[in-house]
Structure 1
Amino acid sequence: MEQQVFTPAKRKRGEHETQVICERLRREKAADYYTVLQSLVPTLFPKATRSKIVEETIRYIKHLEGKLEFLKQQQREQHVQPLQLTQRNCTPTVDLALSRNMTKFAMSFISRPGLLCRVLQVFETHFVDVLTATIASASGISRITVTAWEVGVSVDRIKRDLMAI
């Protein structure tokens, strides 16, 4: 069995090759990181230089930090708003506005599931053509506005049925 003898020149050459391989791996890893950065920043073009990638990434991170601070501020403001007390013993109201061939019904009810469907059922029962219907809910109260076309039956009967909901 022969023993290998390394002369100082052979040792240096081996160390140099190891350094070259390590350097190549480091550059490949850095290139991969630049590619990932480039894919994450929406304002970068495919042929951007490395300095442009770093510059745009910094700008994008600052933009995101500003956006985050803005959202946190909005969240803090929402928690500070005073609470409105709900009016649980609210009786339904129906107000009418008549014009030529249209009638506008403005209603307030205690919010509950299926409320808008029940309101629209009343109009369907009376064969009234509904042009628009909107609903807005806040503090446990739903406000519904319905604009109907040429109400043929008595408006008072529709109002009575709506109040019974």
Structure 2
Amino acid sequence: MKGYKDSVIPPLISDFTPLQGFCISEKGSGSKKSGINESSATDTILKERGRREKMSDKYSVLRSMVPNLFTISKPTREKIVHDTVNYIKCLEEEIKRLEGIKKLQVQEPKAAKPVLSRFANQKSSVDVTVSSGATFFAIRFPFKPDIITKIVKVFDKHHAEVLVATVSVDEQQLLTFTVTIVLGSEGGNTIQKIKEEIVALEVVF
């Protein structure tokens, strides 16, 4: 072309210089984002681990409070919860039973003074004391063969529950037999019958 010169076209710029103050660093941004995600995941794992440890401790506490779980080496959590619920129900029933007993005790009149009864002659005596549901017999007879066996048979005949009994014979061959017994609901009538039958033994001998 006429009048064309190469020097008119400016040379190409080989190095590209980005605008001042503008910088793109995808590598740095990606690393920072990855670090945040890893930290968040670690926190989540630690929190979950802590939650499981707390739950495990609570199940261990429940197991230690339920008697029938002691015999099981590794009960499942379902088993622990099931037996705990049943145990709580049993405790609630026991509370109701004890409260019922307490109400009955409050309604009952105050305990009366001990009731005393006595039979005595020159050689023998039978003292009876009734107090707080228990009956105390103090029997004194001249010692004779089989007398102790016969006295015991009288108590056994009337289904008396013997709590304490003592037997002794002194130098004058006087037998002392003391016994504390508990009777059923008809204790008053039974006590009188026992006393009469024991006194009859003294007459026989």
Deviation per residue, 1:131-164 (Å, 9 max, x gap): 442278xxxxxx9x998xxx9xxxxxxxxxxxxx
Post-superposition shift, 1:107? 2.6
Q: Tell me whether 1:9 sits opposite 2:28 in the alignment.
A: no
Moved over 4 A (4+): 123-127
Measure the CA separation in 1 of the matches of 2:107 and 2:94.
Answer: 20
Measure the CA separation in 1 of the matches of 2:59 and 2:107.
Answer: 43
Q: Tell me whether 1:28 sits opposite 2:53 in the alignment.
A: yes
Percent identical: 27
1:82 and 1:104, CA in 2 relative to 1: closer, same or farther beyond 3 A? Answer: same
- 1:112-123 alignment runs, 5 A limit: none
What stretches of structure 2 of length at least 5 have no aligned partner?
1-28, 132-136, 141-165, 183-190
TM-score (norm 1): 0.56
Deviation per residue, 1:102-149 (Å, 9 max, x gap): x77233489xxxxx9xx99xx76866344442278xxxxxx9x998xx
Map of 1:134 onto structure 2: 180
One-letter amino acid of the counterpart of residue 91, structure 2: L
Map of 1:158 onto structure 2: none
Q: Tell me whether 1:94 sits opposite 2:118 in the alignment.
A: yes
Measure the CA separation in 2 of the matches of 1:109 and 1:132.
Answer: 14
Measure the CA separation in 2 of the matches of 1:31 and 1:57.
Answer: 15
Map of 2:94 onto structure 1: 67
One-letter amino acid of the counterpart of residue 110, structure 2: L
Measure the CA separation in 1 of the matches of 2:74 and 2:98.
Answer: 33
What stretches of structure 1 of length at least 5 have no aligned partner?
97-102, 111-115, 137-142, 152-165
Post-superposition shift, 1:86? 3.8
Q: Tell me whether 1:79 sits opposite 2:132 in the alignment.
A: no
Measure the CA separation in 2 of the matches of 1:109 and 1:124.
Answer: 27
Count of residue correspondences: 126
- 1:142-153 alignment runs, 5 A limit: none
Q: Which has the larger radius of gyration?
A: 2
Measure the CA separation in 2 of the matches of 1:71 and 1:84.
Answer: 20
Measure the CA separation in 2 of the matches of 1:125 and 1:72.
Answer: 54
Measure the CA separation in 2 of the matches of 1:104 and 1:54.
Answer: 65
Measure the CA separation in 1 of the matches of 2:178 and 2:112.
Answer: 30
TM-score (norm 2): 0.47
One-letter amino acid of the counterpart of residue 67, structure 2: P
Post-superposition shift, 1:72? 0.8
